[in-house]
Structure 1
Amino acid sequence: MERIVEQNLLYDFYGELLTAHQKEIYGEHILNDMTATEIAAEFGITRQAVHDMIRRCDKILTDYEARLHLVAKFLTAKEKIKEIHTLSRRLLREDKEQMKEDIRQIESVCNQVLEDL
């Protein structure tokens, strides 16, 4: 998985577990794509302090994922739901009316779950 996507997912799942200061700095880096120099200027701290904070937050969030596996479970569930969705669309091509209605309902539920993820 691309590092930026991974950092965003980790922040989405575990960001609330960071301190307010960590969330501010890491959030600016991850969500707003600010550089260490820009963050340092905004918060009145050194670039090195920003780099250290980003590394520390990366480690904290990665450690949470290593213990809880919420991001991995989310990605697995999302892939399974996509697969169900694909199968249901394929079954819609069959001719049995009741099966079509049942599959339409399955597809609707899959769409709702995917939107919620």
Structure 2
Amino acid sequence: MNIDENTKINLLYNFYQSLLTKKQNQYVDLYYVEDFSLSEIAEQLQVSRQAVMDNLHRSVSLLESFESELGLIKKTQEIDDIASKLENIVTTRYPDDKELSELVKRISKINEK
């Protein structure tokens, strides 16, 4: 697994983990967050390696379908992009406008929660 794919799945997991079952959360957390191997997970959960792989594939597919339907990651990235551009405009063109600066800060903080 390359780093980009792992990062993508961790991001999906951060956004949508509450929509997974307890079992799905456990598998995804152990593999993608805790960096356990398939064998280590199989041993810990007393299942086969194949069961671990199957569960991970289903869980990742589910996370991807959540993003496809809800688009929270895409929307969050868009808010970040707009907030950054807006901040540049405000600091460049309206550096003395405190009210506008405060609004830009509030927009930027939306995704920090």
TM range, smaller chain: 0.7 to 0.9
Question: Which of 6, 29, 35 is equivalent to 1:33?
Answer: 35
The Cα shift of 1:114 comes to 4.7
User: Normalization by structure 2: what TM-score?
Assistant: 0.80
Runs of at least 5 residues in structure 1 that lack an aligned partner in the other structure: none
Q: Deviations over 1:62-114 (max 9, x none)?
A: 1111112122111111211122223233336x5xx4x3x33442443245335
Distance 1:17 1:104, change over 3 A: closer
Structure 1 counterpart of 2:112, which letter? E
The Cα shift of 1:52 comes to 0.9
Aligned equivalents of 2:108, 2:67: Cα separation in 1: 27
Aligned equivalents of 1:40, 1:13: Cα separation in 2: 26
The Cα shift of 1:11 comes to 1.0
Aligned to 2:102: 105
Bigger radius of gyration: 1
Secondary structure in 1 matching 2:74: helix
Runs of at least 5 residues in structure 2 that lack an aligned partner in the other structure: none
Distance 1:76 1:63, change over 3 A: same
Aligned equivalents of 2:88, 2:35: Cα separation in 1: 34
After superposition, the CA RMSD in angstroms is 2.0
Aligned equivalents of 1:65, 1:112: Cα separation in 2: 22
Q: Deviations over 1:42-74 (max 9, x none)?
A: 111111111111111111111111112122111
User: Normalization by structure 1: what TM-score?
Assistant: 0.78
Q: Check whether the contact 1:28–1:34 (CA below 8 A) recurs between aligned residues.
A: yes
- Counterparts in 2 of 1:59-70, with a 5 A limit? 59-70=61-72
Question: Which of 77, 80, 100 is equivalent to 1:78?
Answer: 80
Aligned length: 110
